[in-house]
Structure 1
Amino acid sequence: MTTPTWDPAQYLRHADHRARPFADLLARVPDLPSARPRIADLGCGPGNVTALLADRWPTAHITGHDNSAEMLDRAHVEHAGDNLDFTYADVRTWLPSEPHDLIISNATLQWVPGHADRFPDWVNGLRPGGTLAFQVPGNFDAPSHRLMRTLAARHGVEDVLRHEDAVLTPAAYLSRLADLGCTVDAWETTYIHVLQGEDPVLDWVKGTGLRPILTALADDPETRDTFVRDYRDALREAYPATPHGTAFPFRRVFVVARRGA
């Protein structure tokens, strides 16, 4: 799969909608075992939701990790502070260098093939009573993704995209983490985001799921523009605009796993 080039400004165009699942995840995270918690945010992006961790735990030392220089630059400028820093890391290989009270991730692990195989290392990196928490999109069978894959196959770039097996079911995550001795809360929610503006679903995926295609076709602007135009037309039919906006159903999977004391 192509490592996408990220555009923080495009990603943040739907920041309120994107942050809502993180707030719902954060609401289920229990009290942390330390008075001055150590927290890691894996795949912090531009840092806008990492900052919510500092609001919840003002005495914590929080580090946002990401592999996008563009995202990290935005995070440093807008959110870095005395107890909040950002650094480069590849989630595929990241290991906690010290015991953590919370390892959290927002809409990142779907980009990491085999991410559930990292759970033992991350759980072992928690203090007793510490928590691993994450949410991932569960909408890979939605029209937005199915249409993208169909058009990608037509243009010979289907190999850069993720498929339905990019994430597990809530029950599968529960099983994997319960086997590691964690107490697990796993669930799913389908949000109905009401998006405004012209071609808002296209605008949404330009910040996330479409990034591998845009990256792969960066040196072929004619093919890229044709792809985007055809995809736009298909999305207009799949997600019709109404006087109230464009309804965009979006399923997400949530997991909060607490290590035994």
Structure 2
Amino acid sequence: MTKPLWDPAQYLRHAGHRARPFADLLARVPALPTQAPRIADLGCGPGNVTALLTERWPAAHVTGFDNSPEMLDEAHTEHEGPTAGGGRLDFAHADARTWTPAEPYDLILSNATLQWVPGHADRFADWISGLRPGGTLAFQVPDNIDAPLHALMRDLAAAPRWKSRLAGVLRHNGSVHAPGAYLDRLARLGCTADVWQTTYFHVLEGEDPVLDWVKGTGLRPALTALADDPEARDAFLAEYRDLLREAYPSAPYGTVLPFRRLFAVAVKEA
């Protein structure tokens, strides 16, 4: 899978819809072990939802980690600094494939990132070891790799015209595990785990809004692979756009994008 180049402005075009699962995940995180908690957000992106952590825990020291320079530039510029409750919000470069807590954390959280991290479940043991007793590991991932949004993208990438450029570039079926697999892994690591799925029915507005949505996320590896050939990139987008128009027809009130997500909240034994 190609490491994608990220576009914060494109990602933030649907910021309201993308922030809702983060809020739903946060609502299930229990009280943390300390009054001024240490919090990590793995895959913080442009930092807009990371900032919400400082509203829930005003005295916290929150660090958002990401491996995209473009996303970190946006986060540093727009969100970094002291918080009203005496805490601090900062951002740093790190890769979730290798990041290990260098100090005790009360909460390690990841929002819509782990689907990009091969073998991410193997990282849970290190992250949980880095939690204080009673601390929490919480994450949310898209769980819709079988939806037309992705299936059409993969089928098109495998077509004769594109397979030489895009073979192996996109996310595959194994990028997210079954809910029971996460529950089993987290429970065996000594946590009390809560795992669930939610399907959101996003009503999107504008011209070709599903294409606009996926250009900020799942399509990034293909756009990155074709970045040196704008003509080919535009041709691929035109073909994919036509497929999406058929799969997600517009209605007078907008275009409905069903989007299933998987959530997990695991609390370490106190």
TM bracket, shorter-chain basis = over 0.9
Aligned to 1:63: 63
Q: 2:252 maps to what in 1?
A: 243
Alignment of 1:168-187 (within 5 A): 168-187=177-196
What is the one-letter code of the residue matched to 2:155? T
Alignment match, 1:44: 44
Deviation readout 1:70-120 (Å, 9 max, x if unpaired)? 100100111001200000001100001000000000000000001000000
Provide the secondary structure at the position in 2 that maps to 1:48.
coil
Look up the match of 1:15. Answer: 15
1:147 aligns with 2:139: no
CA distance in 2, matches of 1:75, 1:151: 34
* Post-superposition offset of 1:158: 2.9
- TM (norm. structure 2) is 0.96
The CA distance in 2 between the partners of 1:39 and 1:169, in whole Å, is: 27
Structure 1 SS opposite 2:156: helix
Q: 2:193, 2:131 → 1: CA distance?
A: 15
> In structure 1, how many angstroms separate the alpha carbons of the residues matched to 2:124 and 2:158?
33
Shift of 1:223: 1.4
Instruction: Provide the rounded CA distance (Å) in 2 between the counterparts of 1:102 and 1:138.
Output: 23
Cα RMSD for the two superposed structures: 0.5
Residue 28 (str. 1) matches residue 37 (str. 2):
no
Paired AA for residue 247 in structure 2: A
Q: 1:102 aligns with which of 98, 102, 107?
A: 107
TM-score, normalised to structure 1's length? Answer: 0.99
**Aligned residue identity for 1:179:** R
Superimposed CA distance per residue, residues 107-161 of structure 1 (whole angstroms, 9 cap, x where no aligned partner): 0000000100000000000000000000000000000100000111120113111
- The 5-angstrom pairing of residues 126-165 of structure 1 reads 126-154=131-159, 155-156=162-163, 157-165=166-174
Identity %: 74
CA distance in 2, matches of 1:194, 1:158: 32
Find the aligned partners of 1:220 and 1:59 in 2 and give their Cα distance: 48
Uncovered stretches (5+) of structure 1, i.e. residues with no partner: none
Secondary structure at 2:257 match in 1? strand
Partner amino acid for 1:32? L
